[in-house]
Chain A
């Protein structure tokens, strides 16, 4: 007996018109067309660039990066003089950018977290003061802050010559710090023999502090016994280092800045331009971070606070054990953007003559060689790489601290 099987549905053969009429394919068709248009547009721009360069008799070449830069840079983290190449000058600028970005991010985070938490304080005055800070600094362009701080500094602080003479107009703070309109001069540590041991002891104490805190936490969770955290941490951090320092006969001494000739010599000069840029970027970005922190804290339901209070936790512990861990997952992603913004905003450095990479590669090198396209391309590549790196690192951190949802 022949069983009658259902005839297979007729296999539709693919027809060209289905690209438009069939919903299964239509999406792909439009995506393909869009891609094609994008490629054509890029190709047109590329062709336009090449043609215009040829018209002007120019080409794209990076050979200039190997030639002597012939200009001087005032803030150098690595040895550099005017006979070094443009590449090295660019690198000096890169380090200056990274320096101010790092200092700015750290300071902005501290300021932002403080202001964000305090803005939620029950103390009316403190809360309003923080709201004032956030609104003032967030709503004025950062370039203006940079300029204001720089010009106030140069106008308000004395010139080095004011420190000269038997009865000078200005004197150094504790004989060690000089605040001038060219920057702040601080003592420089001199590392003598044995100083390595002191540093090693300090690093070991640092590790010990973490170990102690971890042990204390574990003890708390296991037995419920609460060890004091604050003063033992401080003691572990300081006492062994101090003991090592004196036991080894004070191997680290300080070299104080001293006015010789036109400027203070010795010591470390923290340039006015660096301070202005650093401070402006930090307070500006800090205001944004404060808002992120506030948003994160407010995103945690008030019931959590009440539940924790009902368990008998004190307000500070409620914040550190209940609220902050839950708030962090809301806070960190926007803070990453703020770090990226701060790093990119540091390119405003030229306004106060801070020699960051935009000032060296994108400023003097570009000007003296006339290689605008090449320099700008390199600059973009640099900022892109830095931003992606910060992003990647911060995302790793985010993954580590975010709530493990089950």
Chain B
């Protein structure tokens, strides 16, 4: 009996282990393709478009990394992952990086042995309810049935929030965003909770977005960002500084429109260092000098990516809010390129 159990566990473990400590950067270069884990479908963040190509805010990070490392923003193999499968996929080496609105938490960073390479979206958990329910605050949700994606931090936040406010609720756990939305729309649950950005993205896909309200309460901090496996710092650096390059590019005014001109050389030393006309930052990363030029060209700087996929002119219509540059009162703050 024990032997059977043990053997099965070994088979399971054999899948999850066996790749630790590999030099991911070399692997990606040798393979010529970046394996990037994304959401199974969240419009604006990661979803296939009408042509079947993945696009979105999280997808853009994958494309920027692929452009920086491989020189081709389309050299990405997208692996769609649920909240439950994402970490196993990353730990087992099935993907090189995970860019799937994943919250940076202590246990994920420390205990699960991952390395968060920065924050590309400061989010918080919210609730959406049908307007006809007549609810205007999350504190009025006592006794409600609430749909929730299982295997996420939202599950724990929800339990904490209702306990703190001494309210009852009926959790309806569901595997994917799409299924949860279906149940929500059929009235199987009174409210749906997930990251506020995800709620805005989902509402945009509803038949009548105006019939649904996102409640004002934000019940948690959800800093979302790309992550890689613990223990491969060179690869972690590549992802981290690619993201930083996008953020710094917006701050310094490098856009996809003027980047060709700027990469001829400017009189700003920091722009020159990022764009590789001065210093040898690219070489330090194990890449060539114009890595950042390619990363920024892939989809524009952070601000351009935000505006194109989830900004106020898109159906999702998210304001910059906390995600504005630090110079504009937000939290986006790239460390100096020096």
CB of A74 within 8 A of CB of B190, answer no
Assess the A72–B169 pair: CB atoms within 8 A. Answer: yes
With both chains docked as a complex, state the minimum distance between the C-beta of A260 and any C-beta of chain B, in angstroms.
8
| Measured CA separation A158–B133 after assembly (Å) | 15
* Inter-chain contact B9/A377, CB cutoff 8 Å: yes
Q: Which residues from A are CB-within-8-Å of B6?
A: 42, 46, 377
* Complex contact B9–A55 (CB within 8 A): no
Contact B174–A353 (Cβ < 8 Å): yes
- Neighbouring A residues of B308 by C-beta, 8 Å: none
A71 and B112 contact, Cβ closer than 8 Å, known pairs A46-B6, A353-B150:
no
Q: When the two chains form the complex, which single residue of B142, B158, B175 contacts A350, counting CB atoms closer than 8 Å? A: B175
Tell whether, in the assembled complex, residue A262 and residue B143 are in contact, meaning their CB atoms are under 8 Å apart: yes
By beta carbon, the residue of chain B nearest A355 is B173
Contact mask for chain B residues 6-49; partner A; CB cutoff 8 A; 1 contact, 0 none: 11111111101110110000000000000000000000000000
Q: Let me know if B155 and A364 touch, CB within 8 A.
A: yes
Q: Which residues of B lie under 8 Å from residue A58 when comparing CB positions?
A: 113
Question: A48 interface residue, CB < 8 Å from B?
Answer: yes
| Given A46-B10, A263-B144, A363-B151: A52 touches B156 (CB 8 Å cut-off) | no
| Complexed CA–CA distance, A129 and B111 (Å) | 57
A161 sits at the interface (CB 8 A): yes
Interface size for A (C-beta < 8 A) is: 53
Asked if A364 and B150 make an inter-chain contact with CB atoms under 8 angstroms apart, the answer reads yes
B128 CB to nearest chain A CB (Å): 15
Contact (Cβ within 8 A) A359 B150:
yes
With A45-B7, A159-B186, A364-B150 as contacts: A370 and B111 at CB distance below 8 Å: yes
- Contact of A110 with B by CB under 8 A: no
The 8 Å CB contact of B175, one of A261, A351, A388, is A351
Q: In this complex, what residue of B is CB-closest to A181?
A: B188
Selected contact of A48 from candidates B14, B111, B231, CB within 8 Å: B14
A73 at interface by CB-CB < 8 Å: yes
Q: Does B218 contact A (CB under 8 A)?
A: no
Return chain B residues, CB-CB under 8 Å to A388.
Answer: 1
A367 interface neighbour in B17, B18, B84, Cβ under 8 Å: B84
CB–CB A263/B160 < 8 A: no
A52 with B20: CB separation less than 8 A: yes
Q: Which of B1, B12, B13, B141 is A53 in contact with, Cβ under 8 Å?
A: B13
Known: A159-B187, A373-B9. A263 touches B3 (CB 8 A): no
**What are the interface flags for A42-81 relative to B under an 8 Å C-beta threshold, 1 for contact and 0 otherwise?**
1001101100110111100000000000111110000001
Asked if B87 contacts A49 (CB within 8 A), the reply is no
Do A380 and B5 touch across chains, with their CB atoms under 8 A apart? yes
Please provide the chain B residues from 151 to 200 with a CB less than 8 Å away from any CB of chain A in the complex: 151-152, 155-156, 158-160, 162-163, 169-175, 182-183, 186-190
Q: Are A380 and B8 in contact (CB under 8 A)?
A: yes
Chain B residue at minimal CB-CB distance from A265? B143
Is the beta-carbon distance between A56 and B14 smaller than 8 angstroms?
Answer: no
- A344 on interface, CB distance cutoff 8 Å: no
Query: Is the CB of A372 closer than 8 A to any CB of chain B?
Result: yes
* Docked CA distance A155–B182 (Å): 9
What 0/1 readout, one digit per residue, does chain A (252-290) give for beta carbons within 8 Å of chain B? 000000001111010000001000000000000000000
- Verify A370–B87 contact, CB threshold 8 A: yes
Query: Could you say which residues of chain B place their CB within 8 Å of the CB of A370?
Result: 87, 107-108, 111-112
Q: Inter-chain contact count A-B, CB under 8 Å? A: 154
Q: Which residue of A lies closest to B10 (CB)?
A: A45
B residues less than 8 Å from A351 (CB atoms): 175
Q: In whole angstroms, how far apart are the Cα atoms of A82 and B169 in the complex?
A: 12
A384 within 8 A of B: yes
A72 touches B158 (CB 8 A): yes
Of the candidates B13, B163, B230, the one whose C-beta lies within 8 Å of that of A82 is B163
A343 to B255, CA, bound (A): 59
CA distance A81 to B76 in the complex (A): 43
User: Is A138 on the interface with B (CB-CB < 8 A)?
Assistant: no
Shortest Cβ distance from A158 into B: residue: B187
In the assembled complex, the Cα of A213 lies from the Cα of B289 at a distance in Å of: 93
A55 to B231, CA, bound (A): 10
Asked if B4 CB lies within 8 Å of chain A CBs, one says yes
A219 CB to nearest B CB, Å: 49
Cβ of A188 < 8 Å from any Cβ of B?
Answer: no
Contacting pair A73 B171 (CB below 8 A): yes
Is A376 an interface position by the 8 A CB rule? Answer: yes
Interface size, B (range): 35 or more
Q: Considering the chains assembled together, what is the distance between the CA atoms of A384 and B3 in angstroms?
A: 12
- Does A233 sit within 8 A of B, measured CB to CB? no
B13 contacts which of A159, A182, A355, A373 (Cβ < 8 Å)? A373
Interface residues as binary, A354-373 with B (CB distance below 8 Å gives 1, 0 otherwise): 01000100011001111011
Bound complex: CA A71 to CA B107 (Å)? 16
For A350, the chain B residues whose CB sits under 8 A away are: 150, 175
Chain A residues with CB under 8 Å of B174's CB are 353
Q: Shortest CB–CB separation between residue B136 and chain A, in angstroms?
A: 15
Distance of A372 from chain B, by nearest CB (Å): 6
B83 in the interface (beta carbon within 8 A): yes
- Give the Cβ gap from A180 to chain B, nearest Cβ, in Å: 9
**Complex CA–CA separation, A48 to B113 (angstroms):** 19
Given A56-B17, A261-B143, A363-B150, CB of A72 within 8 Å of CB of B5:
no
Q: Does A20 contact B (CB under 8 A)?
A: no
* Known A154-B186, A350-B175, A368-B156; contact A55-B21, beta-carbon cutoff 8 A: yes
A181-B187, A376-B9 known; A45+B145 contact, CB < 8 A:
no
Q: Is the CB of A263 within 8 A of B145?
A: yes
B91 located at the interface, meaning its Cβ lies under 8 Å from any Cβ of chain A in the complex:
yes
Q: How distant is the Cα of A388 from the Cα of B230 in the complex, in angstroms?
A: 41
Q: In residues 55-110 of chain B, which contact A (Cβ within 8 Å)?
A: 83-84, 87-88, 91, 107-108
Chain A contacts for B171, CB-based, 8 A: 71-74
A263–B190 Cα distance when bound, in Å, is 9
Is residue A381 within 8 Å, beta carbon to beta carbon, of the partner chain?
Answer: yes
Apart from A49-B13, A367-B152, A368-B155, what 11 extra A-B contacts exist at CB < 8 Å?
A45-B7, A45-B11, A48-B14, A53-B17, A56-B17, A56-B231, A261-B143, A350-B175, A355-B173, A368-B151, A372-B12
Q: 9 closest Cβ contacts across the A-B interface? A: A52-B17, A159-B187, A367-B151, A82-B159, A55-B20, A45-B10, A261-B143, A370-B112, A262-B144
A interface list, Cβ under 8 A from B: 42, 45-46, 48-49, 52-53, 55-58, 70-74, 81-83, 151, 154-155, 158-161, 181-182, 260-263, 265, 272, 350-351, 353, 355, 359, 363-364, 367-370, 372-373, 376-377, 380-381, 384, 388
A–B pairs, 16, beta carbons within 8 Å:
A46-B10, A48-B18, A49-B9, A52-B13, A53-B13, A57-B113, A159-B188, A260-B143, A262-B144, A263-B170, A350-B150, A350-B175, A369-B107, A376-B12, A380-B4, A380-B5
